Amino acid sequence: MTSFAPDRTPNRAPIWFVADACGALTLGFVTVVQMTRPDAVDEFGAVGFPGWFLVMAPAALIVVRRLAPLTVLAAAIGIYLVGAFDYGEGNGTLALVPLAYTVALTRPPRVSATILAIGLLAVWPITFYGPGEIDAFDGGARFVFVMFFLVGWAFGSQVRASHERQAALAEHAAATQAAVDAVARQAVAEERNRIARELHDAVGHSVNVMVMQAGAARLATQDERAVGSLREIERVGRLALGDLDRMLGLLHATDDAAPLEPAYGLADIGRLVEGIRAAGADIEFVDGCPPELDRTVEHTTSATAYRIVQEALTNAVKHAGPAHIEVTLRCDDRELIVQVIDDGRGAATATGGGGRGLIGMRERVELLGGRLTTGPRAGGGYRVEAHIPRAEDDR
């Protein structure tokens, strides 16, 4: 059984209702002019109020054709049939073109053709040519009916087919883009694997050699201070190798398999400071946050704080020269504040390594919705301060 229900909705933007209203007014004006001509009034008489309603209603229904196309078409045909017996239809049949168009636009061609054929059969016995003139065998009027229905249906079906082609092209474009994205992801994965291999071969080998050389030098010396420094070099080198392995794992693994949990957090900042202090740096560490903070704050927040301290200390030791360094952690209900300041040369930090470390720190903080402030201090030295929003972990 054929369903007459629509499978799409016509454009209901306000501008189109305005356009329909203009069309209805134009058709109504032409109808009034035609039916008030002196010769028409002399021959058929003046049209009264009921007649005006019946001959004008089909044109007025054009305004609401987008809301219920089939209902509006049926109403227009019914009003036309009632008015045809006594008042003549004026130009009401012209309204059949846009009404048939809307039905064809909102339904498959076979369904809309069936609907319009039923409508044509309904008006087939009633043919008019001017007000009050009835001729059930007027072939010319019947031809006009057929043409009106056929033009509206053909135009609507053509526009519908064009929309379907556009939708198919858009779907094909989306599928093509998805395939391109898949190829790009595969290329990125292969490039990440290549980078991982090269990093492992180059950096991993170099750090391994440094650790082995430091171990050999530690065994060959009797100087206790040198032994401590060399032992710290070994420890930091092994930590670096562990970091490198984890990062290479992130590069090499798929998105689903990658170990995304950070390796270090707030609880490791103290050990980081102690390690650098053992190497001879003058560092003061002030932890103003509760010990349980590392267990309750988000992994990414904790890891970001650690990396900021690590990068800032690396820059300070590398560029500030002999200096006193202060590492301070503060926190409140809304944010975690990380501050690293030194009283050394300071400004050189901004240019060390092309600024890549500072850029990385800033990206980490901004990704979490925080802010990072860096720059020379007024009294000399350099300051790095990060404000990181606190997000409690649900672990």
Together in a domain, 229 and 298: no
Structure tokens of 87?
A: 């008042």
- The verdict on 335 and 388 lying in the same domain is yes
The answer to whether residues 311 and 340 touch, using CB atoms and an 8 Å cutoff, is no
Length of the chain measured in residues: 395
Of the residues 233, 260, 287, the one at which a domain ends: 260
CATH of the domain at 317: 3.30.565.10
What token pair was written down for 234? 């070994």
The last residue of a domain, from among 237, 260, 283: 260
pLDDT, position 329: 93
- Integer angstrom CA distances of residue 275 from 216, 301, 342: 20, 22, 18
At residue 309, the 3 state secondary structure works out as helix
Please name which of 200, 209, 272, 195 lies closest in space to residue 239, comparing C-alpha atoms: 272
The SS3 call for residue 336 is strand
Instruction: Tell me: do 73 and 193 sit in the same domain.
Output: yes
Asked whether residue 237 falls in the same domain as residue 365, the answer is no
Asked whether residue 272 falls in the same domain as residue 156, the answer is no
Alpha helices in the chain (DSSP H): 14-35, 38-44, 49-60, 69-86, 96-106, 109-123, 139-199, 205-220, 224-252, 269-278, 293-296, 299-319, 356-367
Query: How many other C-beta atoms are found inside a 10 Å radius of the C-beta of residue 265?
Result: 22
Strands 382-389 and 335-342: antiparallel
395 and 324 in one domain? yes
3-state DSSP assignment of residue 287:
strand
* Residues near 147 by beta carbon (within 8 Å), at least 6 away in sequence: none
Instruction: Give the chain's domain count.
Output: 2
Q: Which residue from 5, 129, 136, 121 is spatially nearest to 70, judged by alpha carbons?
A: 5
* Phi and psi at residue 106, to the nearest 5°: -100, 5
8 Cβ partners below 8 Å, 6+ apart? 105, 106, 160, 163
Task: Say what the pLDDT of residue 166 is.
Answer: 92
Q: Are residues 207 and 290 in the same domain?
A: no
CB 293 within 8 A of CB 266: yes
Distance CA 130, CA 133 (A): 6
Q: What is the pLDDT of residue 364?
A: 79
In this structure, are 24 and 79 located in the same domain? yes
Three-state SS for 390? coil
pLDDT, residue 158, reads: 92
Rounded CA-CA distance 38/335 in Å is 87
The confidence score (pLDDT) of residue 366 equals 85
User: CA 315 to CA 259: how far, in whole Å?
Assistant: 28
Of the residues 260, 289, 313, which one is the last residue of a structural domain?
260
Same domain, 77 and 123: yes
Q: Do residues 53 and 41 share a domain?
A: yes
* Range of the structural domain that residue 87 is part of: 1-260
Show the low-confidence residues of the chain (pLDDT under 50).
1, 128-134, 136-137, 255-261, 347-354, 393-395
Rounded-to-integer distance, Cα 2 and Cα 298, Å: 59
Q: Are 383 and 355 in contact (CB under 8 A)?
A: no
CA distance 73 to 12: 17
The 10 Å CB-count burial string (b at 16+, else e) for 177-194 is eeeeeeeeeeeeeeeeee
**Beta strands at 371-376 and 335-342: parallel, antiparallel or unpaired:** unpaired
Q: What is the pLDDT of residue 395?
A: 42
What separation in angstroms does the CA of 133 have from each of 45, 51, 57, 90? 12, 14, 20, 11
How many angstroms separate the CA atoms of 61 and 94, rounded?
A: 12
Residue identified by tokens 């006009």 is 144
Q: What is this structure's pTM?
A: 0.46
Single-letter amino acid, residue 126: I
Considering the domain architecture, whether residues 193 and 278 belong to the same structural domain is answered as no
- Identify whether residues 355 and 219 lie together within a single domain: no
